[in-house]
């Protein structure tokens, strides 16, 4: 009898070990698509995302570089689907590709968490409970940029001519982050009764070198007329800073410089007075939320369509 009991016990234990092993053999498989690896902000984001997914969920994570090419990214999504990932986290190259990506994922019943580049509302309604957007409301970041300027005693009119004469260095205009930051930074000033005058507006594709080039062009063209250079992100503001120094201008003394993201380098520059202000684009909060939502979706739970993470003013 004792022997039988021991045998049964051993069998139960063996089975449970097998059970555990199977559970361990099947970690959460996550396919992460980034629009382009060579982007300062998305580099911080993807590094934190991978680390958090591995540490918190023991996930098996593959992160791929879309090289700013939607066709390439769609191929990568197809490969992830063929491999049978449990969930996709996608930073689209083109926000408008969302509907096609959702269709591919839906056909394979693989949920998708979109990050950083917000698809349209219609696209977000295409597969309820199975797709989500995790991001920050870019209107808020634009408004905060404007608020930093407005909060100064001169409200940004450094040369005292009665208007805030500004230069706008835009990210990628296809992306709502660029559209809203461009619009709301200025809206905040005009809503507060400040007169504005746009001297120059061009796309810099979120890129540092292009930011420098455009700021140099604007400074050569408009010189001392410029009160403020607004950049849709910090990478371009870092470029613009170089152009400002080369032009012999001094930030906060005779020109203002604003960015978004709060890269470490820019936070230091704000503290040293080399940049007027920036806005924290919380890559930690956003990546953790994206990972948590992806893990929920992979378990088969219904997810919400939107998850928002707040920006924060740095001045
Ligand atoms: C960030 C930019 C980044 C872009 C990529 C924005 O939210 O502020 O720095 O280049 O996302 O899509």
Following CA atoms 273, 276, 279, 283 in sequence, which dihedral angle do they give, to the nearest 10 degrees? -40
Retrieve residue 143's tokens: 């408004």
pLDDT attached to residue 21 = 42
Q: What distance in Å separates the CA atoms of residue 170 and residue 182, rounded to the nearest whole number?
A: 7
- Using one digit for the tens of pLDDT, what is the confidence trace for 108-151? 999 999 999 999 999 999 999 999 999 999 999 999 999 999 99
Q: What distance in Å separates the CA atoms of residue 300 and residue 288, rounded to the nearest whole number?
A: 19
Stronger pLDDT, 19 or 311, i.e. the higher one: 311
Q: Is 205 in the pocket of ligand 1 (CB under 6 A)?
A: no
pLDDT attached to residue 25 = 61
In which band, very low, low, confident or very high, does the pLDDT at 218 lie, cut at 50, 70 and 90? Answer: very high
Retrieve residue 144's tokens: 């905060």
The counts of H helices and E strands in the chain are 11, 12
Asked if residues 113 and 293 have their Cβ atoms less than 8 Å apart, the reply is yes
Q: Is 172 in the pocket of ligand 1 (CB under 6 A)?
A: no
- Ligand 1, atom 3: closest residue by C-alpha: 41
User: Which residues does residue 89 pair with via DSSP β-bridges, in sequence order?
Assistant: 32, 113
Q: What is the mean pLDDT of residues 64-70?
A: 98
Closest atom of ligand 1 to CA, residue 136: 7
- Using one digit for the tens of pLDDT, what is the confidence trace for 28-64? 999 999 999 999 999 999 999 999 999 999 999 999 9
Find the distance separating the first CA and the last CA of the chain, reported in whole Å: 77
Q: DSSP strand E in the chain: where?
A: 29-34, 60-65, 87-90, 112-115, 131-135, 164-170, 196-203, 228-231, 256-258, 278-280, 306-308, 312-314
Place of tokens 């820019």: 266
| Helix, coil or strand: residue 18 | helix
pLDDT attached to residue 242 = 98
Pair type for strands 112-115 and 87-90: parallel
Q: What distance in Å separates the CA atoms of residue 304 and residue 132, rounded to the nearest whole number?
A: 6
Q: Is 170 in the pocket of ligand 1 (CB under 6 A)?
A: no
Closest atom of ligand 1 to CA, residue 281: 8
Among 141, 175, 261, which residue has the most ligand 1 atoms within 8 Å of its CB, making it the best to mutate?
261
Q: What is the mean pLDDT of residues 255-267?
A: 98
User: Which residues does residue 143 pair with via DSSP β-bridges, in sequence order?
Assistant: none
Retrieve residue 288's tokens: 């953790």
Closest atom of ligand 1 to CA, residue 141: 8
pTM of the model: 0.90
In which band, very low, low, confident or very high, does the pLDDT at 10 lie, cut at 50, 70 and 90? Answer: low
Residue 8 has pLDDT above 60, yes or no: no
Closest atom of ligand 1 to CA, residue 39: 10
Q: What is the mean pLDDT of the chain?
A: 94
Largest CA distance in the chain: 100
Asked if residues 195 and 264 have their Cβ atoms less than 8 Å apart, the reply is no
Q: Is 73 in the pocket of ligand 1 (CB under 6 A)?
A: no
Ligand 1 center from residue 140 Cα (angstroms) = 14
């Amino acid at each position: 009898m004792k022997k039988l009991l021991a045998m049964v016990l051993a069998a139960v234990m063996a089975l449970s070990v097998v059970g555990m092993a199977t559970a361990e053999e099947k970690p959460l498989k996550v396919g992460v698509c980034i629009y382009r690896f060579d982007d300062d902000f998305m580099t911080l984001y993807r590094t934190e995302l991978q680390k958090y997914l591995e540490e918190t969920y023991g996930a098996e994570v593959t992160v791929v570089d879309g090289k700013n090419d939607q066709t390439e990214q769609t191929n990568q999504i197809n490969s992830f689907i063929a491999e049978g990932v449990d969930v996709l986290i996608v930073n689209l190259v083109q926000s408008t590709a969302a509907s096609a990506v959702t269709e591919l994922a839906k056909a394979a019943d693989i949920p998708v968490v979109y990050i950083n580049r917000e698809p349209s509302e219609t696209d977000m309604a295409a597969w309820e409970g199975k797709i989500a957007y995790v991001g920050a409301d870019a209107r808020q970041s634009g408004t905060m940029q404007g608020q930093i300027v407005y909060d100064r005693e001169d409200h940004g009119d450094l040369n005292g001519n009665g208007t805030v004469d500004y230069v706008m260095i835009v990210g990628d205009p296809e992306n709502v982050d660029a559209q809203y930051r461009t619009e709301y930074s200025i809206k905040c000033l005009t809503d507060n009764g400040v007169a504005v005058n746009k001297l120059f507006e061009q796309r810099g594709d979120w890129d540092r070198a292009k930011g420098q080039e455009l700021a140099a062009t604007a400074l050569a063209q408009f010189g001392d007329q410029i009160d403020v250079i607004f950049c849709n992100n910090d990478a371009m503001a870092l470029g613009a800073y170089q152009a400002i120094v080369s032009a012999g201008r001094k930030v906060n003394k005779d020109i203002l410089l604003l960015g978004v993201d709060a890269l470490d380098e820019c936070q230091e520059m704000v503290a040293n007075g080399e940049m007027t202000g920036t806005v924290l684009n919380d890559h930690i909060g956003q990546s953790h939320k994206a990972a948590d939502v992806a893990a929920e979706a992979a378990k088969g739970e219904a997810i919400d369509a939107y998850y928002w993470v707040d920006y924060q003013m740095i001045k």
